[in-house]
Structure 1
Amino acid sequence: MKKFIFMVLALYANSSLYAQITGINLQESIITWNGKKVTGAHEGTISFKEGFFIYENDKIVGGDFIVDMTTLSNTDQTGKHKLELEKNLKSFNFFNTGDFKTSQLVFKSIIDKGKNLYKVTADLTIKGITNSVKFDLILNKEGATAKLKVDRTKYGIQYGSGTFFDDIGDWTIYEEFDLNIDIKF
C-alpha cells in the first residue's frame, strides 16, 4: 500500500497543478470474466485491490488499477464443480495466484473521443508478464465501464490451448477471454 500511495504522489507531483486523482470504490467495483471452450463457457468475478483515475480539466489523463487475483471466483457453477474450477484457475495451469497475487493495468495513452468516451492504450501485467492492450472506456456519473479481450497465451497461460497442444479436441480452451470492467466511484 505504501508503494501505491508513493506512486500516486509521484504522478500528482509530475502532472500539472490542475490534476485531480479520484480513487475507485473497491467494494462496488468489479470485473466479470468469461472464458470459452469448445464445449461451453464459464464466467466469474475478480475484485479490485486498488485503483484510481487522474483527471485534468475534467478529462481522464491517467489511471492505475491493481486486481486481487486471489479473489478470482466462478459464478456459473456451484458446489464441487465451482470449487474445482476455481482451484484450477488459481493453480500453475492458469493464473498461479500463489506466486502472482495481483495483476495490474496502467494507462499509457488516452484519446478523448468526446461524449465521455476514451480510447485507452494500457499495459496489462498478468503473472509478471506485461503486454499492451487497447480498449474503449466509457465514463458516466457513477463510474466507468470497459470491455477487454485478453489473449491468455501472451501471459504464459497455455493450458488447454489448441494452438499449443495437439489432439485435445473437445477439451480445447480458447486463447482469448473477456473482461467486463464496471468501476464505481
Structure 2
Amino acid sequence: MKKVSILLSALTIGFVSFAAPKNVAVSPKSSIVWLAKKVTGEHTGTVAISKASLAVDGNKLVGGNFTIDLKKIVCLDITDAEYNKKFIGHISTGDFFEVEKFPTASFVITKVAGNQISGNLTVKGITKAISFPANITVAGGKVSAKANITIDRTDFGIQYGSKKFFASIGDKAIMDEFNLNVTLISE
C-alpha cells in the first residue's frame, strides 16, 4: 500500500508540473506603434517595450504582461527635429504622461477567452480594466499576439486639450482616444 501511495504522489507531482503554464520571453521584434489624433491632424510613433512575457499552456495563450518605457516615446511624423523634440517634451510633462514621475506604463493579462484579451492597464499610477480582440497564434512553442487597442486617455487623468473638460477649446481639441498597435512575438 505504501508503494502505491508513493507512486500516486509522484504521478500527481508530475502532472501538476506538466500542467503549469510556461512563460516565454518576448523578442526584441515586438513593438508598439501609437496613433493620436486631434481636430486638425494626427501624430504617430513608437514606444519601447522594456520587458514582457507571455504564458502558454499547450497551444493556448493563458496570461502575460508587458511594460512600456515611456522615456522612449518616438514621434515618426514630425520631421523638423526641433519641433519633434518640443512635441516629445510636451507629451512627457504632467499635461500628458508625466514621465519623470511615471516612467513606465504596464498591462497585465487577467483573462484570455478565445481571441478576447482582458487585463489591467496602468498609466500614471492609475489602473483600469480593459478588453480587446487579438490575433493570437501559438505553434511550436512560439507565440505571436497582435492587437489594436483603443484607450481613452481621460480614464488615466490625462485631460489636456480634451473637449470633455474644455468645451470651448474648438480646433485645438485633442481626441480622448488613442490607439496602440501592439505586436508581441516570443523568442
Is 1:123 aligned to 2:120, yes or no? Answer: yes
> How far does residue 142 in structure 1 lie from its aligned partner after superposition?
6.6
**TM-score using structure 1 length:** 0.85
**TM-score using structure 2 length:** 0.84
> How far does residue 16 in structure 1 lie from its aligned partner after superposition?
6.7
* Mapped contact 2:61–2:136 kept (Cα < 8 A): no
Partner of 2:102: 100
Amino acid at match of 1:87: G
Deviation readout 1:96-149 (Å, 9 max, x if unpaired): 11000111100111102xxxxx20111000000001111112124672211100
> How far does residue 92 in structure 1 lie from its aligned partner after superposition?
0.7
- Give the alignment of 1:160-175 within 5 angstroms: 160-175=161-176
Greater radius of gyration (CA): 2
Equivalent-residue separation in structure 2 for 1:100 and 1:16 (angstroms): 39
Equivalent-residue separation in structure 1 for 2:108 and 2:116 (angstroms): 14
Distance change >3 Å, CA 158–CA 58, structure 1 → 2: same
Partner of 1:157: 158
SS at match of 2:134: strand
- Give the alignment of 1:1-185 within 5 angstroms: 17-25=19-27, 27-78=28-79, 79-112=81-114, 118-140=115-137, 143-185=144-186
Equivalent-residue separation in structure 2 for 1:121 and 1:184 (angstroms): 18
Distance change >3 Å, CA 97–CA 15, structure 1 → 2: farther
Equivalent-residue separation in structure 1 for 2:184 and 2:97 (angstroms): 23
* Mapped contact 1:18–1:57 kept (Cα < 8 A): no
Identity of aligned residues (%): 33
Would you say how many aligned residue pairs link Structure 1 and Structure 2? 166
SS at match of 1:160: coil
Q: Any gaps of 5 or more consecutive residues in structure 2?
A: 1-15
Q: Any gaps of 5 or more consecutive residues in structure 1?
A: 1-13, 113-117
Equivalent-residue separation in structure 1 for 2:131 and 2:171 (angstroms): 31
SS at match of 1:80: helix
Distance change >3 Å, CA 106–CA 15, structure 1 → 2: farther
Distance change >3 Å, CA 161–CA 99, structure 1 → 2: same
Distance change >3 Å, CA 130–CA 16, structure 1 → 2: farther
Distance change >3 Å, CA 83–CA 15, structure 1 → 2: farther
Amino acid at match of 1:122: G
SS at match of 2:155: helix
